[in-house]
Structure 1
Amino acid sequence: MARSVVMDLGVTTFLTDYGIDPLALARGVEERGFSALFLTEHTHIPTSRRSPWPGGAELPRQYSHTFDPFVALGAMAAVTERIALGTGVTLVNQHHPINLAKQVASVERLAPGRVELGVGVGWNEEEMAHHGIDPRQRTAQMLERIEALRAIWTQEEAEYHGRFVDFDPIWSWPKPTAVPPVLIGGGGPTVLDRVLSHGDGWIPLRIRLKELDAFAERVTELRRRAEEAGRGHLPVTIFGGAPKPDALESYAKAGVDRVLFTLTDREGPDAEAQTLAELDTLAELLTR
Structure 2
Amino acid sequence: MMMVKFRGLVHTCDVCDHRALADRGALNMHVGLTMFPTDYAIPPHELAVAAEARGYESLWLPEHSHIPTSRKSPWPGGAELPKYYYDSYDPFASLAAAAAVTKTIKLATGICLVVERDPIHLAKEVSTVDRLSSGRFIFGIGAGWNEEEMANHGTAFATRFKLMRERIEAMKQIWTQSTAAFDGEFVKFEPMMQWPKPVQKPHPPIVVGGAFPHAAKRAIAYGDGWIPIGGRALDPLDVLPQFRQMAKDAGRDPASLSFDVFGAPRNLEVLKRYRDSGVDRVVLMLPPKSRDEILPMLDEGADLVTAL
TM range (shorter): over 0.9
Matched, 1:273 2:292: yes
Matched, 1:41 2:63: yes
Report how far residue 237 of structure 1 moved: 1.2
Note the 1:47-66 alignment, pairs <5 A.
47-66=69-88
Report how far residue 54 of structure 1 moved: 1.0
**Alpha-carbon distance change, 276 to 174 in structure 1, aligned in 2, over 3 angstroms:** same
Which position in structure 1 is the counterpart of 2:205?
A: 181
Which position in structure 1 is the counterpart of 2:263?
A: 240
Same amino acid, percent of matched pairs: 45
**Alpha-carbon distance change, 151 to 31 in structure 1, aligned in 2, over 3 angstroms:** same
* Equivalent position amino acid for 1:229 in 2: R
Report how far residue 137 of structure 1 moved: 0.2
* Equivalent position amino acid for 1:115 in 2: F
Which position in structure 2 is the counterpart of 1:122?
A: 144
Note the 1:1-288 alignment, pairs <5 A.
6-178=28-200, 179-207=203-231, 211-222=235-246, 224-225=248-249, 228-230=251-253, 232-266=255-289, 271-288=290-307
Q: Secondary structure at the match of 2:190?
A: strand
For residues 53-92 of structure 1, the C-alpha deviation after alignment (integer angstroms, 9 at most, x for no partner) is 1111111010011111000101100111001100110000
Q: Is the 8 A contact 2:112 2:142 kept in 1?
A: yes
Looking at structure 1, the residues matched to 233 and 161 of structure 2 have their Cα atoms a distance apart, in angstroms, of: 28
For residues 228-262 of structure 1, the C-alpha deviation after alignment (integer angstroms, 9 at most, x for no partner) is 43574211111110011111022123321000000
Looking at structure 2, the residues matched to 31 and 105 of structure 1 have their Cα atoms a distance apart, in angstroms, of: 26
* Equivalent position amino acid for 2:264 in 1: G
Tell me which moved more, 94-103 or 203-212: 203-212
Report how far residue 211 of structure 1 moved: 2.2
* Equivalent position amino acid for 1:196 in 2: I
Alignment TM-score, normalising by the size of structure 1: 0.92
For residues 252-278 of structure 1, the C-alpha deviation after alignment (integer angstroms, 9 at most, x for no partner) is 233210000000232xxxx11111111
**Alpha-carbon distance change, 253 to 224 in structure 1, aligned in 2, over 3 angstroms:** farther
* Equivalent position amino acid for 2:245 in 1: E
Report how far residue 172 of structure 1 moved: 0.9
Q: Secondary structure at the match of 1:236?
A: strand
**Alpha-carbon distance change, 152 to 48 in structure 1, aligned in 2, over 3 angstroms:** same
Report how far residue 115 of structure 1 moved: 0.3
Looking at structure 2, the residues matched to 62 and 79 of structure 1 have their Cα atoms a distance apart, in angstroms, of: 25
Report how far residue 190 of structure 1 moved: 2.4
Looking at structure 1, the residues matched to 276 and 73 of structure 2 have their Cα atoms a distance apart, in angstroms, of: 36
Q: Which runs of 5+ in 2 are unaligned?
A: 1-25
Q: Is the 8 A contact 1:212 1:250 kept in 2?
A: no
For residues 154-185 of structure 1, the C-alpha deviation after alignment (integer angstroms, 9 at most, x for no partner) is 11111111000111011111111111111011
Q: Is the 8 A contact 1:51 1:125 kept in 2?
A: yes
Looking at structure 2, the residues matched to 172 and 209 of structure 1 have their Cα atoms a distance apart, in angstroms, of: 42
Looking at structure 2, the residues matched to 103 and 212 of structure 1 have their Cα atoms a distance apart, in angstroms, of: 31
CA RMSD of aligned residues (A): 1.8
Looking at structure 1, the residues matched to 305 and 87 of structure 2 have their Cα atoms a distance apart, in angstroms, of: 30
Looking at structure 2, the residues matched to 214 and 277 of structure 1 have their Cα atoms a distance apart, in angstroms, of: 33
For residues 169-224 of structure 1, the C-alpha deviation after alignment (integer angstroms, 9 at most, x for no partner) is 11111111111111011113222221111101111112469724522333432453
Q: How many residues align?
A: 280
For residues 91-132 of structure 1, the C-alpha deviation after alignment (integer angstroms, 9 at most, x for no partner) is 001001000000110111111221011000100000010011
